[in-house]
Amino acid sequence: MIASAKEGFWNKLQAIDQRILYVLIIVVVALPLLRPLSLPITVTSATRTAYEKVDEYSGPGSVIVIAYEFIAGNWPEMGPIAVAMTQHLFRKPDIRIILLAMGRDQGPILAENTLKYIDEMGKEYGEDYVNLGFFAGAEAAMASFASDIPGLVKKDYYGTPIEQLPVMSGLNDLNDIDMFLCLWSGTPGWGEYLRQWQTPYGITVIGGTLGINGPGAQPYVSSGQLKGLVVGLRGGGEYEKLIGKPGEATSGLDAVSTTHLLIIAFIILGNVGYFAGRKRTGGEV
């Protein structure tokens, strides 16, 4: 009777009701958000490289394109990256910034949301930066923009003809762009820009993406096609630290720590149950 109760215990450790796990996740996410732990954030070499490359390629006179290729659902993870990287660029003197989207129709409105969180540092719309909106067609639109900017872009997001926007003057094709910040969450995204922009034109690209896309994008960092890559909430938090402006990622990283610890604790419990149960049944589970 005692032996079977013990076996039952080890089996239960392997199959804890998922509702208990769900409740604990809510608790460990909510607690650090309500009462921050302020765990120190160390900047990894990947994020530091991205930050330094943005510095390197955004000298006076540069023209920089930022593509907001993510959707509303990605905002909690992508928003901090977008805000931190856009803020970094807005601090650069005498550069032109072009915001657009060709893969995700929500891009322009998320670009607007990003601008709400940043200090524009005296930059003026139309003179120093512009939101060109969304271009349907994904890869075809990217190819079209790369080869003939005036042929594709007739108006900005608000309907102003580009002839009236000094920020767009003298831009004919992708050779006139110095750096491209690709903030993507899926497809269409980096893969399409790689084919239509980076490979044929050799444009300098710095990326920002979801944690789940990080491993898939890593080969492009190794090959140099992505000069730098900021990944997930962790990358966003590190970038916020580098620009000295803590934001949503910094506050969210405490919750990431507690949640990951909880998951690891559950994995350990499951394995303890598995090995103890196997020992009692002589290796059969």
Residue identified by tokens 């969210």 is: 252
Which residue in the set 56, 72, 163, 176 belongs to the binding site for other proteins (CB under 8 A)? 72
Residue 259 binding other proteins, by CB under 8 A: yes
Amino acid at 90: F
C-beta neighbour count of 73 within 10 angstroms? 10
Residue 138 binding other proteins, by CB under 8 A: yes
The C-alpha angle 32, 38, 40, rounded to 5 degrees, equals 130
d(CA 121, CA 209): 26
Shortest distance (Å) from residue 59 CB to other proteins: 27
Nearest to 252 by CA among 23, 32, 22: 32
Q: For residues 58 and 74, which CB has a smaller minimum distance to other proteins in the complex?
A: 74
Residue 200 binding other proteins, by CB under 8 A: yes
Binding segment for other proteins (CB under 8 A), chosen from 56-64, 119-127, 152-160, 176-184, is 152-160
Binding segment for other proteins (CB under 8 A), chosen from 51-59, 87-95, 131-139, 160-168, is 131-139
Shortest distance (Å) from residue 135 CB to other proteins: 6
Residues that bind other proteins (CB under 8 A): 14-16, 18, 21-22, 25, 29, 39-42, 44-46, 71-76, 105, 108-109, 113, 135-138, 140-141, 143-144, 147-148, 151-152, 157-159, 200, 211, 214-216, 218-219, 221-222, 232, 234, 237, 253-254, 256-264, 266-267, 269-271, 274-275
